Amino acid sequence: MKLIVGLGNPGKKNQDTWHNAGFLALDEFKKNKDWPDFKISKKFKAEISEGSEIEEKIVLAKPQTFMNNSGESVKALVKFYKIEPKDIWIIHDDIDLPLGKIRVSQNSSAAGHKGVQSIIDQLGTQEFIRFRIGIQPESRGQLPTEDYVLQKIDKPDTIKQTIENIVSAFELALMNGVSEAMNEFN
């Protein structure tokens, strides 16, 4: 069983912002699958869709706790489903990666990402898998990171291609393992 969590912020005003790249990736993954629509789960503080891929049960989750408290939702899901860290995949934006780049990593620090730090704090480990979506612009002037990530995406074609790439990376990881995805996409 795998828990695939896309990080973002709930609400209409946060749709299509850089910080919601994780939500966008899960939507793209589910789009071509015969899976149920996302449904809100108060128990998990998340929107959930369950299905299977390559004979493995998969829970897709979009925490509704806001980014900085994502760990609350992830901890509830992990506890309920009894999921090992190696089977937890977190998909999120990464301001330190150039726009359009993706990275797959395991056992890495939060590197300043507050949503990832919340998960590490709640789970007491950083052993999970991360699928990072680069959102760093060529130039953003003096705009603080906190303001930039909450702006509407202004490069829709680039982010669409990047989202498709990250979905390909976790589909490959599901089929052939995370190491294969790292070798192919990093």
Q: Which amino acid, one-letter code, is at 166?
A: I
Q: How many other CB atoms are found less than 10 A from the CB of residue 179?
A: 11
- 98 forms bridges with which residues in the sheet? 136
Binding residues for tRNA: 66, 68
Q: Which amino acid, one-letter code, is at 2?
A: K
> Measuring CA to CA, how many Å separate 28 from each of 32, 79, 84, 95, 162?
7, 27, 25, 21, 11
Task: Tell me whether residue 145 is exposed, middle or buried, using C-beta atoms within 10 angstroms of its C-beta: 0 to 12, 13 to 18, 19 or more.
Answer: middle
CB 129 within 8 A of CB 90: yes
Active site members? 19
What phi and psi values does residue 45 have, to the nearest 5 degrees? Answer: 50, 45
Where helices occur in the chain by DSSP H, the ranges are 21-31, 70-81, 114-123, 145-148, 156-176, 178-185
Binding residues: 66, 68
